[in-house]
Structure 1
Amino acid sequence: MTEPAEPETFDVVVVGGGPAGATAATDLARMGRRVLLLDRNGRIKPCGGAVPPRLIRDFAIPDELIVARIRSARMISPAEKRVDMPVGDGFVGMVDREHFDPWLRRRASLAGAEQRNGTFERVSREAGTTRVHYRADGAEHRVRARLVMGADGASSPVGRAEIPGHAGMRQVFAYHEIVRRPESGGDYEGSRCDVFYQGKLSPDFYAWIFPHGDTISVGTGSAHKGFSLRSAIRALRASTGLDAGVTVRREGAPLPLKPLKRWDNGRDVLLTGDAAGIVAPASGEGIYYAMLGGRLAAEAADAFLRTGDARALAQARRRFMKLHGRVFLILRMMQWVWYRNDGLRERFVSICRDKDVQQLTWDAYMNKELVRAKPAAHARIFFKDLAHLFRWVSP
Structure 2
Amino acid sequence: MTQEAEYDVVVVGGGPSGATAAHDLACEGYKVMLLDKAGRIKPCGGAIPPRLLKDFDIPHNLLVAHAHSARIIAPSNKKVTMPVGDGFVGMVDRDEFDEWLRNRANEAGAHRVTGRCEKVEDKQFGLAIVSFRSGRGADLQTVTTKAVIGADGARSKVAQQCLKNAERVPCVYAYHEVVKVPEKVDADYEEDRCDVYYQGHLSPDFYAWVFPHGKHMSIGLGSANKGFPLRETTRMMREQTGFSHWETVRKEGAPIPLKPLKRWDNGKNVVVAGDAAGVVAPSSGEGIYYAMTAGRMSATAVSQFLQTGDAKALKLARKSFMKAHGKVFWILGIMQYFWYKNDKRRERFVKMCDDPDVQRLTWEAYMNKELVKRDPMAHVKIFFKDLGHLFGLKAVER
Q: TM-score range by the shorter chain?
A: over 0.9
Deviates more, 1:72-81 or 1:225-234: 225-234
Partners in 2 of 1:47 and 1:142 — Cα distance? Answer: 32
Is the 8 Å Cα contact of residues 273 and 295 (structure 2) preserved in structure 1?
yes
2:38 counterpart of 1:37: no
User: Which residue of 2 is the match for residue 146 of structure 1?
Assistant: 146
User: Which residue of 2 is the match for residue 298 of structure 1?
Assistant: 299
Unaligned runs of 5+ in 2: none
2:185 counterpart of 1:188: no
1:89 pairs with 76, 86, 89, which one? 86
Partners in 2 of 1:206 and 1:71 — Cα distance? Answer: 20
> Partner amino acid for 1:231?
E
Is the 8 Å Cα contact of residues 9 and 33 (structure 2) preserved in structure 1?
yes
2:251 counterpart of 1:250: yes
Partners in 2 of 1:130 and 1:329 — Cα distance? Answer: 34
How many angstroms does 1:376 deviate by?
0.8
1:110 pairs with 107, 112, 117, which one? 107
User: Which residue of 1 is the match for residue 132 of structure 2?
Assistant: 134
Deviates more, 1:182-191 or 1:360-369: 182-191
- Post-superposition Cα deviations, 1:158-209, rounded to whole Å, max 9, x if no partner, equal 1001100101111110000000013331211000000000000000000000
- The 3-state SS of whatever aligns with 1:244 is coil
Q: How does 1:1-395 map to 2 (within 5 A)?
A: 9-128=6-125, 129-137=127-135, 138-184=138-184, 185-393=186-394
User: Which residue of 2 is the match for residue 3 of structure 1?
Assistant: none
> Partner amino acid for 1:152?
D
- Post-superposition Cα deviations, 1:44-96, rounded to whole Å, max 9, x if no partner, equal 00000000000011111112210000100000000000000000002110000
Unaligned runs of 5+ in 1: 1-5
> Partner amino acid for 1:130?
A
Partners in 2 of 1:228 and 1:7 — Cα distance? Answer: 51
> Partner amino acid for 2:60?
D
Partners in 2 of 1:179 and 1:374 — Cα distance? Answer: 41
How many angstroms does 1:8 deviate by?
6.5
Partners in 2 of 1:67 and 1:130 — Cα distance? Answer: 40
TM-score, with structure 1 as normaliser: 0.97
- The 3-state SS of whatever aligns with 2:58 is coil
- The 3-state SS of whatever aligns with 1:144 is strand
Partners in 2 of 1:239 and 1:126 — Cα distance? Answer: 56
How many angstroms does 1:131 deviate by?
1.0
- Post-superposition Cα deviations, 1:115-147, rounded to whole Å, max 9, x if no partner, equal 010010112333223211111141111111000
Partners in 2 of 1:336 and 1:8 — Cα distance? Answer: 47
Is the 8 Å Cα contact of residues 5 and 146 (structure 2) preserved in structure 1?
no
- The 3-state SS of whatever aligns with 2:66 is strand
Partners in 2 of 1:317 and 1:15 — Cα distance? Answer: 18
- The 3-state SS of whatever aligns with 1:90 is coil
Cα separation, partners in 2 of 1:168 and 1:277, compared to 1, 3 Å: same
Partners in 1 of 2:5 and 2:65 — Cα distance? Answer: 43
Structure 1 outlier segments of 4+, above 4 Å: none
Partners in 2 of 1:158 and 1:125 — Cα distance? Answer: 12
How many angstroms does 1:322 deviate by?
0.3
- The 3-state SS of whatever aligns with 2:43 is coil
Partners in 2 of 1:95 and 1:186 — Cα distance? Answer: 22
Is the 8 Å Cα contact of residues 7 and 143 (structure 1) preserved in structure 2?
no
The sequence identity of aligned pairs, in percent, is 58
Partners in 2 of 1:253 and 1:226 — Cα distance? Answer: 14
Q: Root-mean-square deviation (CA), in Å?
A: 1.3
Partners in 2 of 1:287 and 1:19 — Cα distance? Answer: 7
> Partner amino acid for 1:23?
T
Is the 8 Å Cα contact of residues 182 and 244 (structure 1) preserved in structure 2?
no
> Partner amino acid for 1:174?
A
Deviates more, 1:240-249 or 1:334-343: 240-249
Is the 8 Å Cα contact of residues 12 and 151 (structure 2) preserved in structure 1?
yes
- The 3-state SS of whatever aligns with 1:242 is coil
How many angstroms does 1:264 deviate by?
0.2
- The 3-state SS of whatever aligns with 2:244 is helix
Is the 8 Å Cα contact of residues 70 and 94 (structure 1) preserved in structure 2?
yes
- The 3-state SS of whatever aligns with 1:183 is coil
